[in-house]
Structure 1
């Protein structure tokens, strides 16, 4: 394969690279932190709201908000890539923030569980449009040489803010109650995210076009030039071993995240933990995940993608099994740290795989297809975990997901080829 273009190659007035685009890159990191915060406002409070306020006794019913969120976000991810190619990245980002504005208000005023489910449909649209677009825009700006590092910063910002907000809302709920005070943070995040996106963020689609003009012809002609959306979906989902393995691993990753979001707080509450301690555990996992991605994104640029993803999925499986086996706070805290570390190894690296393989001409749509599969894992995980928990108990549901997660690591080890151009 021909060597990739330099990280900061000039193309007319467009320059690719982290240093030359640092101001816009940093702004997009801040915007994605607000995106993560919108999700973090729910992580501690909503499972407890389902149990203590709406008195939903069936786990499957209690997790319907995650099903609604995951299914909507997955579909929106798919269209976000296509829309950002057709209309530009910035309009899609702004539209995502407009959809976010009523979400915290619906959660505050919801008179029935159906309102909470509808709020999560809107949240899924918000997350699909905004998070997908910030990923695409950062890939556009940095070029090929720093892709893993860029994804590390992007995901670290989003999940670091998610963790901080989960901890903050847990503390607020412990002091003032489950509603309305914890959701005031969401109101501030949505207003600030919309303002920054509309007034300060600049369009990056021309950066992708500039990279496409410099992009070498790959050895596999199926990866070059313009493809239809159907061809891109088939390549990303099935025919390319790296892209499809990444899609499968991403789906299982978010399947176990749905478990951590919806089932873990209920397990901890059943063992008598306070809301404050549940909030701490809910924050610990995404905090390690968020901070760790700065290192692991950079690391994948040095050692390659495949082995980091394999090890991360296996470590997640071990961590989830430890949650199932544990009965006390110290064991669960250790498991949350391990789960965060494993997820940090996987999350930015999977996105970097998509960026490595997909041609710039159709990369945004490939990201959309990958994120369709990945975030579909929320819906699959909520349905699977809820059904198993209702039939066999919380612990059986957790053990099952632990096995599935480890199996995904084995699939990557056997099927994925290394995608990083330096290796």
Structure 2
């Protein structure tokens, strides 16, 4: 439908693209996304233990309902975030995402039943879908095509270092003060700071898209930019080789992240590790993931996306295999770091690959579709790993997910084109 297609006026001659040219606003958005990650990180260590110790949810499937709720709400919100940001602007969507997050710590602290925790995760998923998606889109807007991998590396590094630091901090807070309320007060502080920075300092980036679209349209057919939202969904999900390969890899990546989030703390606690050790393990994975993305995103700008993604999926598979067969802190710490490094090869590179192929006019919607599939992996991972853990135990569930992750890497190797990043740079 014509109404699905955003209208772009002529760009302002004062608008320039590039990381250096937009560095203050870019770094502000990096800081905002670190707070978005911290809002998610408040749950990574504490919530699986809360499910078992305070709400007595013994079956893994029941305990993982909060990840299912989070994954579904975030995935659906991702789909609409791109369309909303095209229609109303990036900044209003970012503000709305922070406002949705405001009740989350209150529900986590005061919830008398597990349904309150699930409701908090529905809101958290909506908030993350709006804030994280919009932060990704705004950074793509600012830098243009040549440094897209670098931009996504900074974005995802900030977010997952926020997750890691908060997971570590909440582990120690829980040890000192209990599972509630202290760990979730940290999340409340992050939400207040993120909302304040967005309202007071973040600027709209829609005009940067106009600049890039004007250049892009000059070298490609105008029809290529005039796609409805339904056409963008079909192209990103199934028709385009690179876009569809990235979408399935994103889903599988977050499938194993959902497994790690929901079951690993329970696995570690069952082996007799204390809360401090569990917090270290919960933080090591996203910390390695976050730091390494500062290198991998930029490297994929030069070396191409395809083999970074393929290698990353295979490295994740190896790490999950170690988790499945190890039994104590040392091997699990090594596996957490390896899993983080494998994820770092994949995460910013997949986002950059979507940006390489998508036309600037419908790129925000394509990112939303990709993130729909990617964060749907949380829901798939919660269901699959929960059922398998109930039936066969956590190690068997981890081994199955390791095999699925390796198969996903093989799909990328066969299906994804290798030089989309070079083609995109030449047309901009």
Aligned length: 413
Q: Is 2:42 the partner of 1:41? A: yes
Question: Residue 360 of structure 1: SS of its match in structure 2?
Answer: coil
Q: Is 2:62 the partner of 1:81? A: no
Q: Is the 8 A contact 1:68 1:379 kept in 2?
A: yes
Q: Deviations over 1:264-313 (max 9, x none)?
A: 11111111110110010000000000011010001001101000000000
* Offset, 1:42: 0.1
Structure 2 CA distance, aligned partners of 1:420 and 1:311?
A: 18
* Offset, 1:363: 0.2
* Partner in structure 2 of residue 381 of structure 1: 381
* Offset, 1:199: 1.1
Structure 1 CA distance, aligned partners of 2:75 and 2:421?
A: 26
Q: Is 2:311 the partner of 1:311? A: yes
Structure 2 CA distance, aligned partners of 1:242 and 1:223?
A: 20
Query: Kindly tell me: are residues 82 and 25 of structure 1, through their superposed partners in 2, closer, same or farther at Cα, counting changes over 3 Å?
Result: same
Query: Kindly tell me: are residues 135 and 53 of structure 1, through their superposed partners in 2, closer, same or farther at Cα, counting changes over 3 Å?
Result: same
Q: Is the 8 A contact 2:35 2:191 kept in 1?
A: yes
* Offset, 1:13: 1.2
* Offset, 1:222: 10
Bigger mean CA deviation after superposition, 145-154 or 387-396: 387-396
Q: Is the 8 A contact 1:148 1:352 kept in 2?
A: yes
* Partner in structure 1 of residue 201 of structure 2: 200
* Partner in structure 1 of residue 5 of structure 2: none
* Partner in structure 2 of residue 120 of structure 1: 121
Q: Is the 8 A contact 1:255 1:377 kept in 2?
A: yes
Structure 2 CA distance, aligned partners of 1:45 and 1:117?
A: 14
Structure 1 CA distance, aligned partners of 2:79 and 2:320?
A: 29
Question: Residue 224 of structure 1: SS of its match in structure 2?
Answer: helix
Q: Is the 8 A contact 1:218 1:224 kept in 2?
A: no
Structure 2 CA distance, aligned partners of 1:363 and 1:209?
A: 12
* Partner in structure 2 of residue 3 of structure 1: none
Question: Residue 15 of structure 1: SS of its match in structure 2?
Answer: coil
* Offset, 1:11: 5.6
Q: TM-score, normalised by structure 1?
A: 0.96
Structure 1 CA distance, aligned partners of 2:311 and 2:330?
A: 24
* Partner in structure 1 of residue 332 of structure 2: 332
Structure 2 CA distance, aligned partners of 1:14 and 1:355?
A: 20
* Offset, 1:392: 1.1
Give the 5 Å matches for 1:62-141.
62-141=63-142
Structure 2 CA distance, aligned partners of 1:217 and 1:389?
A: 54
* Offset, 1:328: 1.1
Q: Is 2:359 the partner of 1:359? A: yes
* Offset, 1:316: 0.1
Give the 5 Å matches for 1:16-415.
16-215=17-216, 224-415=224-415
Q: Deviations over 1:112-167 (max 9, x none)?
A: 00000000000000000000000000000000000000000000000001000000
* Partner in structure 2 of residue 5 of structure 1: none
Q: Is the 8 A contact 1:310 1:413 kept in 2?
A: yes
* Offset, 1:223: 8.1
Q: Deviations over 1:28-84 (max 9, x none)?
A: 000000000000000000000000110001110000000000000000000000000
Query: Kindly tell me: are residues 218 and 259 of structure 1, through their superposed partners in 2, closer, same or farther at Cα, counting changes over 3 Å?
Result: farther
* Offset, 1:109: 0.3
* Partner in structure 1 of residue 8 of structure 2: none
Q: Is the 8 A contact 1:70 1:377 kept in 2?
A: yes
* Offset, 1:224: 1.9
Runs of 4+ in structure 1 displaced over 4 angstroms? 216-219
Structure 1 CA distance, aligned partners of 2:233 and 2:210?
A: 21
Q: Is the 8 A contact 2:147 2:301 kept in 1?
A: yes
Structure 1 CA distance, aligned partners of 2:24 and 2:238?
A: 38
Structure 1 CA distance, aligned partners of 2:422 and 2:50?
A: 48
Structure 2 CA distance, aligned partners of 1:90 and 1:355?
A: 20
Q: TM-score, normalised by structure 2?
A: 0.95
Structure 1 CA distance, aligned partners of 2:222 and 2:404?
A: 31
Question: Residue 57 of structure 2: SS of its match in structure 1?
Answer: coil
Structure 1 CA distance, aligned partners of 2:286 and 2:53?
A: 24
* Offset, 1:218: 6.8
Structure 2 CA distance, aligned partners of 1:143 and 1:363?
A: 12
Structure 2 CA distance, aligned partners of 1:13 and 1:392?
A: 61
Q: Is the 8 A contact 1:148 1:300 kept in 2?
A: yes
Query: Kindly tell me: are residues 402 and 218 of structure 1, through their superposed partners in 2, closer, same or farther at Cα, counting changes over 3 Å?
Result: farther
Q: Is the 8 A contact 2:78 2:372 kept in 1?
A: yes
